[in-house]
Structure 1
Amino acid sequence: MPITQAHSGLLARANDSFECETDGAADFYGFGVRLGIYFAWANAYIANTLLPSEIAGASDTNNIFLLVILIAMIKCSANSMLTSIDGLVLMHLSGGFLFGTLSIWGYRTRQYFDNGPQGIRFFGGFGTHSRLIVSLMISAFGLWFWMFGVTDGLVHPGTEQEIVEEPNPPECATLYTFMFAKVRADGVIRIFYIIMCIGCIVYYSIMLLASVIAAWARLGKMLHLYRERRWAETTRLHFATGFKYGE
């Protein structure tokens, strides 16, 4: 007896199944790129949970990956080189950084677990501000992507807009994503992602504003101490996070 008859919930694979490919897939998220991202996630997870001394390096690595993805999405979307499916995959990879391993103030790290709210005092250097800016820009691009990119803002495979040597079948024009099931990216799930992006923009904007105010206040204190020739107190002598650190 065929398996599909024994199990009514299964669907047989159609004989006319098709594949969708883009020219930029290997460059945007090829196996080597994804392998590097996955190792960066694993490195950040181990550092955040077990090795506080490595949090700075892991955070900077994740931030660099996220910045590269952001630059690729902005530049290639402006040149009509980024297709809707490529943008979708890159947005999901960006979400893996933002919601998985990238910690702005250290709430998901061993520092916060060991020191409580006082643990955030280790997170306030240049690295933290750069992560805030990159995360805010990723969220802003994500809002544009889910509002316009999935509809007509980007090139859809299988349409006349796609300029490739081997055109994709017209069925590739419909963009799907996964949310506990296969759903259309331009359907109801789009509203959920728009709300998520707006929430991230509001959160990161508030955090960035607060950090700028704190940095301005610290700069005023540094100038005051500098005028009084109290050189050793004009800046921090210990950085736990940032582009470099020392202990």
Structure 2
Amino acid sequence: MLAIRQDGCGYDGNSDLYGVGVRVGLYAQWVAMLLSTVFEPRSEAGLRTTNLIIQLAVFIGLCTESVGATTTSTSGLHPSAAVITQFLLCGSLSSVTGDGVGHLRSISGVARLFFYTALSAYGCWFWFAGIDVMRRRRWREDEGSDGGTASAPAPAPALAPCTSEVAFFGRTSFDGWFRVLGKILSVLGLVVCVALVAYWVYLLVTRFRPGIGRGLAAGNAHGNKKGRPRIELALLALSAGLLVLSAMTVEYLIRVNGVQKVGRADLDSVGQLIPLIAGCMGAALVAWRIVMRGKVLKKRCVFLFGFHL
């Protein structure tokens, strides 16, 4: 049973965005991708593709709900719900290891790059303007429920009682340092993603400049390269830390903001069962392959800050 806030600021969450089935499924996929990147690289591409499909579906839902906050629609996100969803979408970065942040020479790697470019752009809108838009909409709803005029011009945000929504650990609000940090990280993320897109375009032009046939042959030659798995311990620690931080933050925000209808008792929709089954089966299959094929004992190239150990 999820906790209910005593100040009346709890709300019914969107189970198809961050219900328990979606959350557990994504957590399982994060663990599966991290394990496959370290122990079973052959399974990584399939897991990345599955994760990207589910992420894309959740992101489209996030954008759709956010659009509702900019209109007179009765639907729309709370600011804390948008933060919960963004943490769920960022957690898959836990697959980062010593082979690089992204695989720009593969279709799935490029698709992930464009996905995170779009997510960073959404983050810029949310932290700079989206929070205020969602708050103004909630203020109009509260005024309308009290007998006021819902169509009256809304004053500056942070007037309604429920603007006390929590954004991070320690009951951090949306008005302090965390919002500034969100702005900085979203802008940096967008700049990095745009730079990587430009680099991908450069790689594409360089590859196909001699001709389409040679470009395709070069791609096949690169895909056939094999070597001993390489692990960068610093990135591995960062990946595991991001996974744990994202999961803990999501569960904390759901509890402290009194979000209802996203718990175990509400696991009753296909939108939750699909990521749950896909994530748990993916994690189980990866663990089975690692154990049965003796991948744990396989020799690997281990690095720490670029130095071979």
TM-score past 0.5 threshold: yes
Tell me, yes or no, if the aligned pair for 1:146 and 1:194 is still in contact at 8 Å.
Answer: yes
> Residue 35 of structure 1 corresponds to which residue in structure 2?
24
User: How far did 1:235 drift?
Assistant: 4.7
> Residue 87 of structure 2 corresponds to which residue in structure 1?
92
Tell me, yes or no, if the aligned pair for 2:56 and 2:115 is still in contact at 8 Å.
Answer: yes
- Separation in structure 2 between the aligned mates of residue 163 and residue 25 of structure 1, nearest angstrom: 23
- Which runs of structure 2 are paired with 1:98-137 in the superposition (5 Å)? 98=93, 100-101=94-95, 103=96, 108-109=97-98, 112=99, 124-137=105-118
- Separation in structure 1 between the aligned mates of residue 129 and residue 101 of structure 2, nearest angstrom: 37
- Separation in structure 2 between the aligned mates of residue 239 and residue 162 of structure 1, nearest angstrom: 57
> Residue 233 of structure 1 corresponds to which residue in structure 2?
217
Select which of 77, 84, 98 maps to 1:82: 77
Q: Which runs of 5+ in 2 are unaligned?
A: 70-75, 146-159, 225-309
Select which of 51, 60, 63 maps to 2:49: 60
Provide closer, same or farther for how the CA distance between residues 47 and 16 of structure 1 changes in structure 2, counting only shifts above 3 A.
closer
Whether 1:20 and 2:20 are equivalent positions in the alignment is no
> Residue 140 of structure 1 corresponds to which residue in structure 2?
121
Tell me, yes or no, if the aligned pair for 2:104 and 2:200 is still in contact at 8 Å.
Answer: no
- Separation in structure 2 between the aligned mates of residue 158 and residue 205 of structure 1, nearest angstrom: 34
- Separation in structure 1 between the aligned mates of residue 41 and residue 137 of structure 2, nearest angstrom: 45
Tell me, yes or no, if the aligned pair for 2:164 and 2:173 is still in contact at 8 Å.
Answer: yes
- Separation in structure 2 between the aligned mates of residue 162 and residue 97 of structure 1, nearest angstrom: 36
Provide closer, same or farther for how the CA distance between residues 235 and 196 of structure 1 changes in structure 2, counting only shifts above 3 A.
closer
> Residue 164 of structure 2 corresponds to which residue in structure 1?
174
Instruction: Encode CA deviations 1:141-186: one digit per residue, 9 max, x unaligned.
Output: 0111111122x22257963337999xxxx6433221224x221022
Amino acid of the residue matched to residue 126 of structure 2? F
> Residue 198 of structure 2 corresponds to which residue in structure 1?
209
Tell me, yes or no, if the aligned pair for 1:222 and 1:234 is still in contact at 8 Å.
Answer: no
> Residue 4 of structure 1 corresponds to which residue in structure 2?
none
- Separation in structure 1 between the aligned mates of residue 15 and residue 162 of structure 2, nearest angstrom: 18
> Residue 152 of structure 2 corresponds to which residue in structure 1?
none
Using CA pairs below 8 Å that are at least 6 residues apart, which structure has the higher relative contact order?
2
Provide closer, same or farther for how the CA distance between residues 212 and 69 of structure 1 changes in structure 2, counting only shifts above 3 A.
same
Instruction: Encode CA deviations 1:11-58: one digit per residue, 9 max, x unaligned.
Output: xxxx95546113x42221111111111111111111111111111112
Amino acid of the residue matched to residue 174 of structure 1? S
- Separation in structure 2 between the aligned mates of residue 59 and residue 134 of structure 1, nearest angstrom: 12
Structure exhibiting the larger radius of gyration computed from Cα positions: 1
Q: Which moved more, 1:133-142 or 1:152-161?
A: 152-161
- Which runs of structure 2 are paired with 1:139-158 in the superposition (5 Å)? 139-150=120-131, 152-154=132-134
Task: Please give the root-mean-square deviation of Cα atoms over the aligned residues, in Å.
Answer: 3.1
- Separation in structure 2 between the aligned mates of residue 156 and residue 208 of structure 1, nearest angstrom: 35
Select which of 122, 139, 164 maps to 1:159: 139
Instruction: Encode CA deviations 1:186-227: one digit per residue, 9 max, x unaligned.
Output: 22210011111111111111111001111122222333649x
Provide closer, same or farther for how the CA distance between residues 124 and 149 of structure 1 changes in structure 2, counting only shifts above 3 A.
same
- Separation in structure 2 between the aligned mates of residue 158 and residue 140 of structure 1, nearest angstrom: 23
Amino acid of the residue matched to residue 133 of structure 2? G
TM-score, normalising length from structure 1? 0.69
| SS of corresponding position for 2:176 | coil
Q: Which runs of 5+ in 1 are unaligned?
A: 1-14, 113-118, 227-231, 241-247
User: How far did 1:84 drift?
Assistant: 1.7
- Separation in structure 2 between the aligned mates of residue 41 and residue 195 of structure 1, nearest angstrom: 25
Q: Hey, which of these two has a bigger chunk of helix by percent?
A: 2
User: How far did 1:65 drift?
Assistant: 2.6
| SS of corresponding position for 1:190 | helix
TM-score, normalising length from structure 2? 0.57
